[in-house]
Amino acid sequence: MHVARTVAELRRWRAEQAGRSVGFVPTMGYLHDGHLALVRRARVENERVVVSIFVNPLQFGPEEDYERYPRDLERDLALLRAEGVDLVFAPAVAEMYPPGFATTVVVRGPVAERLEGAARPGHFRGVATVVARLLNLVQPQRAYFGWKDAQQVLVVQRLVSDLALPVAIVPVPTVREPDGLAMSSRNVYLDPEERQAAAALPRALFAALEQFQAGERAAEALRRTVRERLAGTPVRLEYVSVSDRESFEEVERVERPALLLVAAWVGTTRLIDNVPLDPAAP
């Protein structure tokens, strides 16, 4: 497994792979089984697999956790070696954003401006900017993103479509802990009590999903179920939304594919999660 710390090393390696299919998994490191699901999917679909590990300062707000975001490069490299990854790109900040860097990629519209976009001003600008640069550097045929960050998937799909980037975006289902909590590098912030309480969040989502599968199509009924299930738990809901998967507008009735999305706080830790609502599913 090659480890490239610079753009020049990455470019040199990439030039040697001409004619081979490349799958790319961008991450911020501190890897868990959710990341590895993306890597495994990339491994079976491509001749070469590239993983980036870069905690992107541009996508953190000034009051957010950039400084204390968990990092463990040696452990990450061992996990990726075991998955048969071909190249890890782990650049320093000055390598990704050299002096004079002055370009920002801005996706507009509900998909980048509602929910996470509203709660975290600048977040999707940071995501779109780093993803555009990474895709241009790695030049993959396919890039893998987790549904865990559903809005990010839709922002990246918009970006790739609008800039006509020659890459297929492959979304991968959310990987969960045995109690249902979506795996996340940020789960390490939870103390044991909070960690146990956090499972109320997926339970509330799954209660609403069951209701949907039993035929409920009124978005407000689904949102109410989530609110009611979390009332009286330590999980403080920030938003619950039923958003159309195409327009990303709030919907009243789920007649087309949608997402039930939540953000919530447990102590000082902010969690996001979602489940797909597909009226065509059996």
Out of 24, 145, 189, 212, the only residue in the binding site for ligand AMP (CB under 6 A) is: 145
Tell me, by CB under 6 A, how many residues bind ligand AMP. 17
Question: Which residue has its beta carbon closest to ligand AMP?
Answer: 146
- 181 counts as binding ligand AMP under rule CB under 6 A: no
Nearer to ligand AMP, 39 or 254 (CB): 39
Identify whether 35 is a catalytic site residue: yes
Out of 159, 165, 175, 237, the only residue in the binding site for ligand AMP (CB under 6 A) is: 175
- 187 counts as binding ligand AMP under rule CB under 6 A: no
DSSP string, the chain: -EEE-SHHHHHHHHHHTTTS-EEEEEE-SS--HHHHHHHHHHHHH-SEEEEEE---GGGS-TTSSTTTS---HHHHHHHHHHTT-SEEE---HHHHS-TT--------SHHHHSTHHHHSTTHHHHHHHHHHHHHHHH--SEEEEEGGGHHHHHHHHHHHHHTT-S-EEEEEPPPB-TTSPBP-GGGGGS-HHHHHHHTHHHHHHHHHHHHHHTT--BHHHHHHHHHHHHTTSSEEEEEEEEEETTT--B-SB--S-EEEEEEEEETTEEEEEEEEE-TT--
We find the least distance from the C-beta atom of residue 239 to ligand AMP, in angstroms, to be 19
We find the least distance from the C-beta atom of residue 37 to ligand AMP, in angstroms, to be 6
We find the least distance from the C-beta atom of residue 29 to ligand AMP, in angstroms, to be 6
- Site map for ligand AMP, 12-51, x if CB under 6 A? ---------------xx-----xx-xx-------------
